[in-house]
Amino acid sequence: ETGVTQSPTHLIKTRGQQVTLRCSSQSGHNTVSWYQQALGQGPQFIFQYYREEENGRGNFPPRFSGLQFPNYSSELNVNALELDDSALYLCASSLAGVSGYGYTFGSGTRLTVV
Amino acid sequence: DAKTTQPPSMDCAEGRAANLPCNHSTISGNEYVYWYRQIHSQGPQYIIHGLKNNETNEMASLIITEDRKSSTLILPHATLRDTAVYYCIVRVDKEYGNKLVFGAGTILRVKS
């Protein structure tokens, strides 16, 4: 059973640029969620994808967007990067339809915007 | 959304039980309580979860009060490797999906 893998592990971008982060879900999981964790804070929910559609969204602007692919992997895209977007971005996979099922997190992508 | 309140930090002697409290007084009847921990800004690691009954696994025990307004995570024999940020989380289920609502967490320092 493979876990959740994220790429890249670290990334440096310039303000105004666009970035794409990738996530492969754990084997057998069909739902992917993305979280943003600023330094010293708990993770904040960005959005969730199920059956290749957005299935819930947190308080993040439209320049944060995502995709889920038929193999359940996912991408997080951020346009017009701002300095405050610097954070650890976490992907978590889970199995929809199973009450109380847990989430498996990846190790995250550390994004620095300069 | 239900929110959780945890003490910002706690110390525990190595080999002793670590008892981490959490208040979730606004939790709804069908919302689960999850505990995760995070070490050195790695991804959060699942520890345990529960709805109403107390739960135990190889890592920890979860004690949930009868009114479900608070819970306690118990690490029975803390080791130095248990030093981490521990998050008490409520899973919010909506028609459109679900999400984990993280609080600020408790920094647990296990000392020799």
- Asked if the bond preceding A8 is cis, omega within 30° of 0, the reply is yes
Chain A, chain B: beta-carbon pairs less than 8 Å apart = 61
Q: Assign B95 a pLDDT band (cuts: 50, 70, 90).
A: low
CA separation for the pair A64, A80 (Å, rounded):
9
Average pLDDT rounded to a whole number, residues B4-23? 96
Nearest CA in chain B to A100: B32
Cα–Cα nearest to B2, from B105, B106, B104, B89: B89
CA separation for the pair B4, B25 (Å, rounded):
8
CB atoms within 10 A of CB A99: 8
Mutate to test the interface with A, among B32, B100, B107 (most CBs of A within 10 A): B100
pLDDT of residue B31: 87
Average pLDDT rounded to a whole number, residues A12-25? 97
Distance from CA of A69 to the nearest CA of B (A): 18
Give A-chain residues touching B36 at CB under 8 angstroms. 105
Residues whose CB falls within 8 Å of the CB of residue A3, separated by 6 or more in sequence, listed in order: A26, A104, A106
Nearest CA in chain A to B45: A105
pLDDT at residue B1 greater than cutoff 80? no
